[in-house]
Structure 1
Amino acid sequence: MPLPFLTADRAFDDSDDPADAGGGALPHIDQDRWRRPYRPGPWRVAGGALLLLLASYMLFAAMIIALAGALPGAGLCMAAATAVIVGAVRLVRAGAWVSAQGLRRAGVFSTTTVPWAELAEVRTVQQPVKWLGLPRTVQGQALVATPVSGEPLRPLVTDHDADFLGRLEAFDMATDAVEAWAAEYRTDEHRD
């Protein structure tokens, strides 16, 4: 079963992009599809894998409880395992997503979408950032989007989050890709 949220958008991979030779976008790439312009980091994947491992133990426990005859307990254990699986999927899907429609910041518990026309700027700034999403903050870089209304959104990605901790080059490539999407679609909106 293909899991498209685990793969990066191939259009951002410069190593084998045939569009570089032709100088244009690939005709088969759907610009309206939401895509994450980077691969999930090892910390995010490891967290999701550990949650799925926990869910497998919970499902095995539910089977044992059901075979023992305690069906309400088995149902409760199955419901808890389902919640852990949903949490693991949401954890892996978290991050910055782009499409022709706008910019999306997907979190574990909430998702915010802003159309390109409503964004004043998207840029990388130096600021205190959370280390792996924990309360501890360190000095780092963050990709921030500022809407026209002026109230900035939470950082889209940081160089100390689960995707980019210890991967500064990947952070630079991902922020460049999101900024390129913003430059292209914000100018298209302002031309009309």
Structure 2
Amino acid sequence: PVRGSELCLSVFDALGNPVQIADDVLIYDATGRHPAPSAAAEIAAAGKRVTFVARDPSIAPEMEHHSSITYRKAFAEHNVHVLLEHELVSVSAQDGRRLAVLRHLLTGRELSTTHSQIIVEHGTIPVNGLFDELRLLSVNDGATEIASLIGPAPLRERAPNGFELHRIGDAVSSRSVHAAMLDALRLGLQF
């Protein structure tokens, strides 16, 4: 969703190859979950200059309180510059560096800032190949009856033949591990 995204690294790519991380990095967090602040803390601890930009009014609002505190402490210890309530509008190349245009979400004011590298966390896109292959073979056609996940167990009987197929967690959309665990628990309690 960001113009110039081909000039950016994802958090996954950045942490998968720490050798490629530049000395001056902007990390943009559009999810409020662990990946972006985790990357920022790790990269800053390695001695790199980090600017952390988030859409949210606080660091890591989608996480439990103690994780948020841990990241905020790491940011303070390693002098991470933090800009909150900003969105990344575009990225362009400029003299071998990256020009990021940020927009304040409350005022609409734009800010341009230049860094050696831009790392973006926008969540994940489900990889559905295996699900799509198995869906037609399943007795429920891969559909989960949401209403059957609420209430006391057992909520319904198992199919006498075949298998049921359900998508949970990141197989549905970009979600936290806690959402996947809750989905799995609800499904497991049905039988």
Structures share fold, TM-score greater than 0.5: no
Q: TM-score, normalised by structure 2?
A: 0.24
Q: TM-score, normalised by structure 1?
A: 0.24
Structure (1 or 2) with the larger CA radius of gyration: 2
Give the number of the structure whose residues are more often helix, by fraction: 1
Where relative contact order (Cα < 8 A, 6+ residues apart) is larger, the structure is 2
